């Protein structure tokens, strides 16, 4: 009997102790030296904690631990954690220069979280966004330099320009990350496959330039010819115009003169016009003048 009562007493106690222990376990959390914790409740940010031991409301508040240490990643290559087994990524490393050459250039980026809240909530994948930003900055910068400078003397300047562009973009987009350091690892001519592809591109570019030059030459030859032909047509039209006007004016003057003669001597003028018309229409005809009673007819051309 005592044993049963004893069991009835201790079972609730054990349950209560277990609940208290579980509640205490869920109500405390620890933040490491190189971490920060973002505390949320019902989707809202409550606070941000640095290193130490903290308490939260069990089952209601949630803790999101963010690693604040510096991380590194390669652009143009991949390697394991020990920096070995390096694999080239030509889709990232091959860049085009200002003199239309290709160069194979690698970078190493060191970054860390600057704002844990922005890192968690301002973007879905801040590391991927950071990588795309860096690639954009590298390509736009390398495109301003000739291939000789990229491979030799221009590395430090390119490195500085890329870093400045990246920092400005990170500030603008506010994804919670910052650039700690950026270095050019290597810059060299591309592989044989890329060189062959570049030669094909260069050949196509030269063919394009040749076609453009041929078209411009044809244009420079044909336009003056067309302009000269147009000028000739215009000049001919002006000449015909002037001739027609002069002819019309002459005919008008001649008609006026004939009209004045006609008014003075109508019959003689009619006869003269008749004879002139006959000569024009029948140039080889013989004209014989008679009064109708003369027995002998004498040709006019004999007189």
Burial of 122 (0-12, 13-18, 19+ CB in 10 A): middle
Is the predicted pLDDT of residue 1 greater than 50, yes or no? no
All CATH 3.30.479.30 domain ranges of the chain, comma separated, are: 71-190
Residue 147: pLDDT band by 50, 70, 90 thresholds? confident
Tell me which residue of 137, 226, 224 sits closest to 179, measured CA to CA: 137
Query: What pLDDT is stored for residue 293 in this prediction?
Result: 65
Among 11-25, 86-100, 157-171, where is mean pLDDT lowest? 11-25
pLDDT at 100: 83
Q: Is the pLDDT of residue 191 over 70?
A: no
Percent of the chain with pLDDT over 70: 80
Q: What is the reported pTM? A: 0.58
Q: Under CATH, to which class is 71-190 assigned?
A: alpha beta
Using 50, 70 and 90 to split pLDDT, how confident is the model at 142? very high
What's the mean pLDDT in 178-195? 82
**What count of Cα atoms within 13 Å lies in the side-chain half-sphere of residue 39?**
18
Average pLDDT over every residue of 98-110: 89
Can you give the pLDDT at residue 200? 78
């Amino acid at each position: 009997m005592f044993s049963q009562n004893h069991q009835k007493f201790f079972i609730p106690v054990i349950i209560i102790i277990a609940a208290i222990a579980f509640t205490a376990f869920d109500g405390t959390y620890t933040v490491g030296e190189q971490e920060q914790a973002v505390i949320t409740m019902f989707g809202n940010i409550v606070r941000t904690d640095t290193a130490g031991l903290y308490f939260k409301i069990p089952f209601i508040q949630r803790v999101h631990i963010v690693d604040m240490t510096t991380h590194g990643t390669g652009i143009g290559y991949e390697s394991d954690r020990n920096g070995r087994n390096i694999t080239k990524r030509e889709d990232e490393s091959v860049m085009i220069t200002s003199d239309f050459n290709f160069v194979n250039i690698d970078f190493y980026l060191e970054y860390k979280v600057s704002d844990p809240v922005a890192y968690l909530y301002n973007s879905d994948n801040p590391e991927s966004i950071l990588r795309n930003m860096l690639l954009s900055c590298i390509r736009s910068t390398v495109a301003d330099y000739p291939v000789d400078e990229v491979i030799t003397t221009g590395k430090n300047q390119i490195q500085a320009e890329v870093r400045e562009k990246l920092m400005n973009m990170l500030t603008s987009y506010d994804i919670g990350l910052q650039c700690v350091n950026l270095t050019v690892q290597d810059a060299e001519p591309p592989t044989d496959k890329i060189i062959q592809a570049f030669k094909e591109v260069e050949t196509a570019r030269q063919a394009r330039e040749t076609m453009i030059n041929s078209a411009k030459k044809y244009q420079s030859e044909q336009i003056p010819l067309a302009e000269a032909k147009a000028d000739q047509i215009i000049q001919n039209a002006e000449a015909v115009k002037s001739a027609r006007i002069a002819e019309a004016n002459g005919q008008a003057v001649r008609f006026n003169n004939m009209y004045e003669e006609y008014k003075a001597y109508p019959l003689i003028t009619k006869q003269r016009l008749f004879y002139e018309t006959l000569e024009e229409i029948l140039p080889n005809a013989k004209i014989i003048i008679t009064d109708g009673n003369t027995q002998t007819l004498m040709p006019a051309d004999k007189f």
